[in-house]
Every structure is written in structure tokens, then in C-alpha cells.
A and B are shown apart, each in its own frame.
Chain A
Amino acid sequence: MKGTAPGDPESGRTSGRPRGGPGSTTRETTGPDGPDGPDLAGYVRSLFDRLRGGELGAVPVVVSLLVIWIVFQSLNHNFLSPRNVSNIGVDITGPGLIALGVVFVLLLGEMDLSVGSVSGLAAAIFAVMNVNHGVPEWLAIISALLAGAAIGTLQGFFFVRLGVPAFVVTLAGLLAWNGLMLYVLGASGTIDLDEQGGVVALTNRYIHSAALAYGLAMLGTGTFLAVSYRDSRMRRSAGMAARPVWAIAERAVGIAVPAFAAAWILDRYRGVPVSLLVFLAFIVGLDFVLRRTTYGRRIFATGGDLEASRRSGVNVTWTRVSAFTVSGTLAAVGGLFLASRVASVGQTSGSSTLLIDAIAAAVIGGVSLFGGRGTTWSALLGILVIQSIASGMILLGVQTAVQYMVTGSVLFGAVVLDSLSRHSQKVHRLT
């Protein structure tokens, strides 16, 4: 499974809930005899209901992505070349992993402004230990990740236990961790990573095998279908309404088309980038955590209504601190990927627009700023939008100024949509 598989086009608006269909479920799952045949009229009606009810899911971001690709491709035929697509596929992994951590914090309705600095600090810790002090690579990696986790936990603790707004705690972190990175790097300034090391290999290794590329696309689609089938069978044998066939088909197509397209195009360059595989593995794994585990359920609950969750007996302190731990850890992971991409760590690591890109990616991908709504796939879709714009602008030789303005407009559009959809859900409820 790779490329732009949105997974679950609706969970962006209704997550926290297992796969059961969105607001329009009232009709779909009220009884075991609900429409479960390939009822086209029912499908169209439900699609319409969902759109009207603000259940846009991944639709806006997928549409913007397609528009961006079409526009750039028509302006420059190298944009969708296998080489450029492959490069985008690798470039998204660093900021994408950071955005993935930001998703957890945004699900709480909070903000982590320190992720850029934390990613730079983690990379610096790794480089200094491994390169300057000869510490084994695995140990240096673990230390860098632990540092990220510890920083996230610390910030979460200050936010949750002492009640300092997360915005302020992590803003202080943004400065402080960047300062610590400069201190750790010391006078040397820039440290070149070991070209033969595993970290550098992360982003310059590709697996050039058509069998693997298409096999993964097939595996992704197949796994989804198998899980859906098993789920349907268990629900039916329990006498409960199963998800309608069209809903499964819709998602299967949403996975298969981008997955096979990505396999096809990546195979025409250097094959599947290892870094992209790792990124996708993180997305799928954390998607499972968020939607299928007790922990994930409580993240959504806490982000949706803190007081209601507390009264339900959820340990909201631990839940909220842990989201910051995840965010710090993934920032460290992303930092290693970014260092790997340039094979060095320097004074500017983790700075420039990295923080903004990571947060914007999550929001553009459909994670609500108000908390309680979003999916890990948002990080992928959002960072694809941002990286596509950046890459297209470079190909066209346009100034960064224009790139910022375009990305800014897309982000603004995403935030407006988020607010509107929240508003429309409220109105929807009152009627």
C-alpha cells in the first residue's frame, strides 16, 4: 500500500468511531436488513447526505491534490515524471513523520510548536554521539528517539499538570530546544553523517522490484478487503448490520487506485523508496492504534470533550501527556529522516519552514484544529499537497515567495473548511 491511499475517506470527519459509516448511518445500520446490496441509488443518496452534513472526509484534500498535480503537469511535463514523483515520495517522509506526531496533539485540540526544534535536536544528538564520539549507530538512534520522547513528555507534563497552555510551553520549547541543539553541535557547526551508515541509507535506498511494488499495492488492497470481509461476517453472525457493500467498495477503490498508480510510477524510476515504506508503516500502525485500540478511543474522547472523558473515568492526564510524548518521539524520527536526506546535521537543522509544514500538513489533510477529529492519513495527504507545491514551484523556477503564498492559501482554505464543517455539524444537529 503506498502513494496516496487515503484509506478511509470518511474517518477524517467521524473518527474515533470504528468503521461504521458517518452521520448518515442512522439509515444504514438501523437494522440487519439495511441496504447492503450494491444499491446505487442508496449510495448516491448517502454520498449526498454526507456532503451536505459536512462529512467531507478526505474529499477536499484529494481534490486539491489532483488539481495541483494537473496544474503543474500542464505547466511542466517533468512534474509527474517518475523521477520527480519518486523524489517527492522521499521528501515527504521527514516532515510527514513529524506531521504524524502533530496529528496526535491536534486530536486533543492542542498545539505542539516545538516539533521542528525537537527534530533538529534529535538529529544533532544522533550525529554527535555517532560521528563525534563513535557510539554505535543503534545506540545513538535510540538515544535520539528517547530524547524526543522525554522532551514531549516533559512539555506534556507542564501543560497538563501545571495548566500552562500547550501553545506557550511548546513555544518556549521551540526556542529552548533549538538553543540546546546549537549547544550540542558546538563549534563544529555542521556534522557530516557516515555515508555507509543505516541512517543515511534510510532515504537513499530503494527496492527496485516490480513484484514488490505491485505486491505491496495488492497487499494493501487485499488486507483491507480481508479485514472488511471478516468484519462483515462477524457482524452478520452476531445478527448486526454489516457495512454496506458500496461503502467497502468505495474505500477499496480509494486504496487500490493510488496504490497501484504509485507502484507503477515508482517502479519506472528506482523502485520503492525504503523511507516511504517506513513512513507508510508508521501511518498504518498508528491508524490502527487510533481507531482500534482503547488508547486511541480515549485520545479521540479527550479531544472531543475533556470533562466528559474525565467523568467517564478516563485517565485524561496520562492520555494527554502521552499525545505529547508521541509528538516528540515522531519529531525525533522525522529529524533523523531529514538528516538522512542531506547526510548531515547543521545549525539550520529543524528550522526554516519545517514546523509550519508539519502543522499545515496535518490541518490541510483534514485534522480538525478543534480536536477529536482526524486520521493519520491526513499527515500523508497534507504533506503531499505541501511537497507537491514546493516541488512544482522549484521545477517552474518560481520564487519561494509565491510558493509560500500558495501554500498559505491552501492552509487557509483547509482551516475555513474545518470551521465550516464544525459549524454545519452543529446546525445539522439542531435540525
Chain B
Amino acid sequence: MASTPVLALHGVCKRFGAVQALTDVELEIRAGEVVALVGDSGAGKSTLAKAITGAGPADEGVIEWQGRPASIQRPRDAQDLGIAAVYQDLALCENLDVVANLFLGHEIARAGVLDEIAMERHALELEPLALLSKEPPSVRGVVASLSAGQRQTVAICRAILSRPELLVLDEPTAALGVEQSGRFLDLVERLRDSGTAIMLISHNLGDVKAVADQAAVLRHGRNNGFFDVPSTPQEQIVSSITGVTDNAVTQRTTKTWEDML
């Protein structure tokens, strides 16, 4: 693919105290492309997602947005570029209702006074809100009273509401039902076809296989391979995730550590 990537990461590092969560991570995502980010639990996927969305800025490394270096220090920086996200922990305000959550940070207001009717109308027009949960949440229901699936639906709707150029999805189907997950994948394909760049983090390799064009594997915070999804057998991706390609000794030591943790 010759086009400039919407987002390119070079040498991204992130450290939490003694834990080196990301080391020299490279990644490219193009418009109209779904890139799956896969890796074992604790591999650093969410950390990388947060580095992109500004929720947890990277310590080192270069982030290029449409070919130009960009500085993402706060969530607002990423939003201004056109990046939206569904976080693994959803990041919804439980005490607010669905409409308030959908528009938080981007309220429709006139002279500082909220236009509730306009916001509610937009919310009611959101097709995925009705499609992605078994029982569509009431737009005026408080998030605290919603089921896990309904919350996930709200988080997804909030992310696509801003019509982002890059959509970062961290385990977006974790709480969805089987049928709803299927509809969600349809939605992802539609967004991709309309030119959105999508980064999909998932443990479900079936989902990855179904919609992703590329898969980037993270292992212990480092790149561990890039795959062209349609032409790569699933086993190969799995072995890259679990690291069976590592030599036996390092594998044994990490195994015992993981067992202890």
C-alpha cells in the first residue's frame, strides 16, 4: 500500500515505575484499513491504545499523523486530530445518563447552556444504539442502571458519534452477545469501507480473522510480528502471541513467572 498511513508509531516506549510496558513499538494504520492489535494478557495492548488516544501519553517515540509528527499529550489532542476510542474499561460516567455520556466533552450548547433536545435527538438517531444491545438502553437512563452489554454499546456509540478518522477499539465486543458481536463486526466493516482507519484490540481471533486486514502482535511490550490476516493461518498468529517461537529456555522462565503472577 502506497498511501501515507493515517497513524504511524515509531519507537514508542512507556514505563510504569519498574514495569516497562512498551518498548520501541512500531505500528502503521491506513485509512480504510482494520489493523488488529493482538497479544497475550499484559502484553501492553491497552497501554499502546492509551498512548494513541492521549489517555496515557507515551514516554518516548514519534507519533506521525498523516505523515506529520504530532504531539499527543492529552485526550483532547487526539480528539482534535480525529481519534476516538472505546476503552477496555469503557470510561463512562455512571452517574450521568446515556445522552450526557455520549456528548461529554462535546456537548451541544448555546452560550454555555445545554441543548438537551438536540443531543437527545442525535442519540435517538444513533442506529448502533438500538442494534448492539439485546434491549436498547433508554437514552435518559443513568449508566449505573445499564447492563454490561448496554454500557459497551454506549461506549461504542460515543466513539463513532464524532465521526473519527481513526477509531481505536479496545476489546469492544467483550460484553456483547453473540448476535450483537456479529452486528458490531458488520459496523466495523461499514466504517472501514467509508474510509475510517480502525485499530481493533481483541482476544477473539475469530473476530480478528473476520474483519482485520493486518494483525500486529505485541509480546511483553514489543512488536512480535506483523501478519497479513487473510493469507496467514491462524496458528501462526497464535504462536506469535504465545511465543512458542521463542527458544525453550526463555519460554520456560517466562512461563513460571506468569504462573506465579
Contacts and interface: CB of A to CB of B under 8 A. Distances in A.
Interface residues of B, number: 38
A307 B91 contact: yes
16 contacts: A14-B97, A18-B116, A21-B140, A23-B145, A26-B145, A292-B114, A294-B114, A295-B112, A300-B100, A308-B90, A310-B75, A311-B53, A311-B75, A313-B104, A313-B105, A314-B105
Nearest to A425: B144
Contacts of A403: none
A312 B162 CA distance: 12
B138 A294 contact: no
A70 interface: no
Contacts of A310: 55, 75
B205 interface: no
Interface string A291-315: 0111101101101110111111111
A313 B92 CA distance: 12
Interface stretch (B12-20, B117-125, B211-219, B238-246): B117-125
B158 to A, nearest CB: 8
A370 B139 CA distance: 24
B92 to A, nearest CB: 6
Interface stretch (A199-207, A219-227, A234-242, A383-391): A234-242
B76 A313 contact: yes
A26 B141 contact: yes
B140 A25 contact: yes
B25 interface: no
A17 B79 contact: no
Contacts of B141: 23, 25-26
A3 interface: no
B96 A26 contact: no
Given A238-B117, A314-B105, A429-B145, A29 B138 contact: yes
B142 interface: yes
A16 B96 contact: yes
A304 B75 contact: no
A292 B75 contact: no
B193 interface: no
Contacts of A373: 95
The 3 closest A-B pairs by CB, nearest first: A304-B95, A313-B105, A312-B105
B140 A305 contact: no
Given A238-B117, A312-B104, 6 more contacts: A18-B114, A22-B142, A235-B117, A240-B121, A308-B104, A313-B106
A313 B100 CA distance: 14
B182 to A, nearest CB: 25
B117 A234 contact: yes
Interface in A385-427: 425-426
B234 to A, nearest CB: 33
B107 interface: yes
B104 A314 contact: yes
A294 B145 CA distance: 23
Given A234-B117, A240-B124, A312-B104, A20 B96 contact: no
A313 B93 contact: no
B60 interface: no
Interface string B70-96: 000001100100000101001111111
A372 interface: yes
A414 B145 CA distance: 23
A257 to B, nearest CB: 27
A294 B120 CA distance: 15
B113 to A, nearest CB: 6
Interface in B165-179: none
Nearest to B155: A308
A82 B43 CA distance: 71
Given A18-B114, A300-B96, A304-B95, A25 B107 contact: no
A235 B112 CA distance: 20
A188 interface: no
Given A240-B120, A309-B104, A301 B112 contact: no
Interface string B42-74: 000000000001010000000000000000000
Contact of A313 (B75, B109, B121): B75
A21 to B, nearest CB: 7
A380 B40 CA distance: 55
B55 to A, nearest CB: 5
B96 to A, nearest CB: 5
Contacts of B138: 25-26, 29-30
A308 B144 CA distance: 14
Given A293-B112, A294-B109, A305 B100 contact: no
A292 B105 contact: no
Contacts of A26: 137-138, 141, 145
A425 to B, nearest CB: 5
A372 B93 contact: yes
B93 A308 contact: yes
B146 A429 contact: yes
A428 interface: yes
A239 B100 CA distance: 19
A311 B55 contact: yes
- Which of B100, B104, B106 has the largest number of chain A CB atoms within 10 A? B104
A297 B117 contact: no
Contacts of B93: 16, 300-301, 304-305, 308-309, 372
